[in-house]
Amino acid sequence: MVAIKAHFDGKNIILPEKYRKRLPREVLIVFESAAPEAAENRLWLKAQEEAFAKVWDNDEDAVYDAL
């Protein structure tokens, strides 16, 4: 499996030149959203991450760090 960055021109997915001659068996496409709500989602995820870190980072749970 290979992960590469490509470009969508509105009609086609444009692969980098070095990958254009390879014939893939299967392709998995992941879209990165550029919509305004994507930025808001990232802010919420960051806030949740910080809240979770406060709860998880303690001496009692530190024993699991070594696993």
Calpha distance 31→66 (Å, rounded) = 35
- Let me know if residue 45 belongs to a domain: yes
Residue 56, domain extent: 7-66
Calpha distance 60→51 (Å, rounded) = 17
pTM of the model: 0.39
pLDDT of the chain, 67 residues: tens digit per residue: 778 888 888 898 888 888 888 766 777 777 766 666 777 888 888 888 888 877 777 777 777 777 7
- Let me know if residue 14 belongs to a domain: yes
Count: domains in the chain: 1
pLDDT attached to residue 55: 74
- Let me know if residue 25 belongs to a domain: yes
- Let me know if residue 1 belongs to a domain: no
Take residue 63 and report the two structure tokens written for it.
């024993």
The CA distances from residue 44 to 7, 47, 57, in Å, are 27, 5, 20
